[in-house]
Amino acid sequence: MSYDKTYRILVINPGSTSTKVAVYENEVELFSENAVHSQEALREYGNNIILQMPLRTKVIRAILKDNDIDLNSLDAVVGRGGMIPGLKTGGYYADEALCQVIKEGALIPHASNLGALIAREIAEPLGIPALIYDAVSAADLPELAQITGIDHIRRQSYCHVLNSRAMAHEYAKQKGVEYKDLRLLIAHLGGGISVSAHVGGKIVDVVTDDGGPFSPERSGSVPLTYIVDMCFSGEYTHDEVMRTLRGRGGLVALLGTSDCREIERRIQDGDEYAAQIYEAQAYQIAKGIGELIPALEGRIDAIILTGGLAWSKKLPKMVKKYVEAIAPVVVLPGEKEMEALALGALRILHGEEEARRYVDPNHMAMHRAR
């Protein structure tokens, strides 16, 4: 789309050990850089990710200076959204209410939680909007999809929202239609694997990266009785159980590596066990896709495979053979998180979308109780 005004947008995407920084003018990337933080530097902050904010902000300012970006030339700052409860898909202002829940709320520790804080820190003195877009926890799950078999636990949506919706927009553009008019199942294949169902431009249900297929580094869904036995065996601490599920699970546990290129080389060399495990991963991805068929009532325009593993010459074909009878399978490899953040902010600046103000769902529940 062509715009009659040029907007300059700073994009910030904090990862566990790095911070990606980019500046866009409308849809055009001026530069992009990935600043890697040493383990030694991060270790000083222990497990409190929020304390890393000054370090990362300083690094971002240095990168902008090195690339001759005058802060006063910016029209907006957009950060990756984190594990914040109660968010819908789309954009939110990184205002005081949002930042306060990140600083004080009992959130799942995740580097993406820093996106809003850093965006506000840089944008506020400049008098420009600070935004987040398509946060990790954002979705539009109906009430039916939130119910679990435990009365005090509600299903929440944690998936690769940013890239999944970016690829949905990309597919819609390729087909010459609006994203909101499509019914899609999207599997993001990366270090973690998630699947999401898209209807009317909304994510209406998900298979989370701990509730479905095992992945290169995560165990995926495992029968709960086994996990309960692990937790009460006395052989594992809480942290050890968590690392078994996230970081030391999946292909790492089964084959000793998360590098799918290495696994495919082993298979090429005749490693039958590696071939079996890889096939099992593809089979579980297909099962995760199949699990969400009811969310679209069986009417599906396309199944999209995306993420870093979609670059593989082998894995998408393995998944496709299980699910191509359901709907056409489209492979859109890689991730477009930085572009997705920039374009989301651009749509807000241009008035195509409206950014929301965050309201803590716990506060709303207390208000209703009164």
Distance (Å, whole) CA 152 – CA 170: 38
Residue 366 has pLDDT above 80, yes or no: no
Is 145 contained in some domain? no
- Whether the predicted pLDDT of 51 surpasses 60: yes
pTM: 0.86
Q: How far apart are CA 122 and CA 100, in angstroms?
A: 16
What was the pLDDT predicted at 265? Answer: 96
Q: Are residues 124 and 44 in the same domain?
A: yes
CB 135 within 8 A of CB 112: yes
DSSP letters for 108-153: PP-GGGHHHHHHHHHHGGGT--EEEES-TT-----HHHHB-SSTT-
Q: Does 39 have pLDDT greater than 80?
A: no
Q: What is the pLDDT of residue 174?
A: 96
CATH number of the domain bearing residue 320? 3.30.420.40
CA angle 216, 45, 126 (to 5 degrees): 95
Mean per-residue pLDDT for 137-151?
A: 91
Spatial distance between the Cα atoms of 139 and 90, rounded to a whole number of angstroms: 9
Choose between 299 and 364: higher pLDDT: 299
**Average pLDDT of the chain, as a whole number:** 91
Based on the fold, state whether residues 60 and 187 are members of the same structural domain. Answer: no
The pLDDT, as a whole number, for residue 139 is: 83
Q: What is the mean pLDDT of residues 163-169?
A: 94
pLDDT above 70: percentage of residues in the chain: 96
Q: Do residue 173 and residue 76 come from a single domain?
A: no
273: how many CB neighbours lie within 10 A of its CB? 11
What local confidence, expressed as pLDDT, does residue 370 receive?
35
Query: Average pLDDT, stretch 343-369?
Result: 77
- Residue 159 reports pLDDT greater than 90: no
pLDDT for 17 equals: 80
205 contacts 141 by C-beta, under 8 angstroms: yes
Range(s) of the domain holding residue 90: 8-140+338-369
**Residue 140 Cα distances to 35, 120, 181, angstroms:** 33, 25, 16
Q: How close are the terminal C-alpha atoms of the chain, in Å?
A: 48
Residues 241 and 168 in one domain: yes
Residue 83 has pLDDT above 90, yes or no: no
Among 101-115, 125-139, 151-165, the minimum mean pLDDT is found in 101-115
Q: In this structure, is residue 148 part of a structural domain?
A: no
When comparing pLDDT for 24 and 49, which is higher?
Answer: 24
User: Are 176 and 275 members of one domain?
Assistant: yes
Distance CA 316, CA 333 (A): 10
CA 196 – CA 189 distance, rounded (Å): 12
Asked whether residue 41 falls in the same domain as residue 18, the answer is: yes
* Tokens describing residue 295: 């969310």
Residue 16 scores a pLDDT above 90: no
**Is there a single domain that holds both residue 23 and residue 73?**
yes
CA of residue 93 relative to chain centroid, distance? 19
Q: What is the mean pLDDT of residues 207-226?
A: 93
Q: Is residue 187 part of a domain?
A: yes
- Which pLDDT belongs to residue 365? 40
Does residue 1 sit within a domain?
no
Each residue's pLDDT tens digit, 172-216: 999 999 999 999 999 999 988 999 999 999 999 999 988 999 999
Same domain, 110 and 225: no
Residue 179's pLDDT is 95
Q: Are residues 133 and 277 in the same domain?
A: no
Q: What pLDDT, on the 0 to 100 scale, is given for residue 1? A: 59
Q: Which residues of 48-85 are buried (b: 16+ CB within 10 A; e: fewer)?
A: ebeebbeebbebbeebbeeeebeeeebbbbbbbbbbbb
Counting the structural domains of the chain, the total is 2
Following CA atoms 116, 119, 123, 124 in sequence, which dihedral angle do they give, to the nearest 10 degrees? 40
Q: Within a domain: residue 256?
A: yes
pLDDT at residue 266 is higher than 70: yes
Residue 23: phi and psi, rounded to 5, are -125, 130
- Give the strand order in the sheet containing 91-93: 28-36, 18-25, 8-14, 76-80, 130-133, 91-93
Q: Lowest-pLDDT range, 160-164, 296-300, 361-365? A: 361-365
- Least confident segment among 14-18, 161-165, 255-259: 14-18
Say how far apart CA 157 and CA 204 lie, in whole Å. 9
| Same domain as 136, residue 181 | no
d(C-alpha 81, C-alpha 107), whole Å: 12
Q: Check whether residue 194 and residue 132 sit in a common domain.
A: no
What's phi and psi for 184, nearest 5 deg?
-130, 145
